[in-house]
Amino acid sequence: MKAPKPTRPGGYVPRDRTWQPAALTPAYKTSVKRSPQSALLSFPTTPSEETGPVFGHHMLGALDNDLLHNYAAAGESAIGPRIIVRGRVLDEFARPVPGALIEVWQANAGGRYRHKKESYLAALDPNFGGCGRVIAGDAGGYEFRTVQPGPYPWPNGMNDWRPAHIHFSVFGAGFAQRLITQMYFEGDPLIWRCPIVGALPCREAVETLIAPLDMNGTVPFDALCYRFDIVLRGRRQTMFENRREGL
């Protein structure tokens, strides 16, 4: 039987804005003057949003996904609980997003960032830079090694502390999928006290940002594993396209 002619894929499914944080969340004070007040202008995606830059494995250095060592002196290693973070990048139709670029950044085990504007009194670790990156494989899988970051105080309310977290920047296939988020750690009591986490509209949304401990991924006598799957916007397939996955 002759396969139906492939047609141009459809656009990206609109973002569910009731699931995403609002621009204005007054408990997170900086949002007050940085939040647009007018309604967003909604349009279906065009080729400008359906295309996106491509990042090849060739650009990656051998230690890019090893934050324990990518800033450390030879023979040294960052200080703190050794962890592996791994997961998959999927779209809303559960299709893998191979080639997705993930950039991560974080504080060190004491909760201190290596940044000019950082003033927390916790010590810098001379062997920890705090950045890494990885490109998702064919099944959307990714993995990096790091230290578990510490919680830290920040100027918002008089006694606000960020839960331990790792920042993620993600590029999918189309610029419409562009996303920056943060991963939290299972069991951290600070998660539910944080005004930035509190920008999310519901408990279910917060829970999708909490990585569970994954003993199956743990390397005995080496590193604990946390599992963090990432879901990017999905792109519609045309109704009669001859493929099983997706719409």
Partner 1 sequence: MAQKLDYLKETPSQTAGPYVHIGCTSNFIGVQGVYDRDLGSEMKTGPVKGQEITITGRVIDGTGTALRDVLVEIWQADAGGLHNSPQETRGKADANFTGWGRCPGHPETGEFRFDTVKPGRVPFGDGRMQAPHVTFWIVARGINIGLHTRMYFADEDAANADDPILSRIEHRNRVATLLASRDGDAAYRFDIVLQGEDETVFFDM
- Which residues form the catalytic set? 113, 152, 162, 165, 167
C-alpha 45, offset from chain centre: 23
Q: Which is nearer to partner 1, 59 or 139 (CB)?
A: 59
Q: Which is nearer to partner 1, 94 or 219 (CB)?
A: 94
| Min separation Cβ 23 and partner 1, Å | 6
Q: What number of chain residues touch partner 1 (CB under 8 A)?
A: 90
Ordered DSSP codes for 15-29:
P-TTTSPPS--TTSG
| Min separation Cβ 246 and partner 1, Å | 10
| Min separation Cβ 221 and partner 1, Å | 27
Dihedral sign from CA coordinates of 9, 247, 42, 29: negative
Q: Report the distance separating Cα 158 and Cα 153, nearest Å.
A: 9
| Min separation Cβ 50 and partner 1, Å | 6
Q: Is 93 in the site for partner 1 (CB under 8 A)?
A: yes
Q: Is 180 in the site for partner 1 (CB under 8 A)?
A: yes
Footprint of partner 1 on residues 109-138 (CB under 8 A)?
113-118, 129-133
Footprint of partner 1 on residues 46-85 (CB under 8 A)?
46-55, 59, 61, 63-64, 70-71
Amino acid letter for position 76: E
Q: Which is nearer to partner 1, 58 or 220 (CB)?
A: 58
Picking from 136, 73, 74, 80, the residue whose alpha carbon sits closest to that of residue 106 is 80
Burial class (CB in 10 A: 0-12, 13-18, 19+), 70: buried
Burial class (CB in 10 A: 0-12, 13-18, 19+), 180: exposed
Burial class (CB in 10 A: 0-12, 13-18, 19+), 171: buried
Q: Which is nearer to partner 1, 193 or 218 (CB)?
A: 193
Q: Is 234 in the site for partner 1 (CB under 8 A)?
A: yes
Q: Report the distance separating Cα 87 and Cα 144, nearest Å.
A: 10
Q: Which is nearer to partner 1, 168 or 225 (CB)?
A: 168
User: Binding string to partner 1 for residues 186 to 215, with x set by CB under 8 A, is what?
Assistant: ----------xx-xx---xxx-xx------
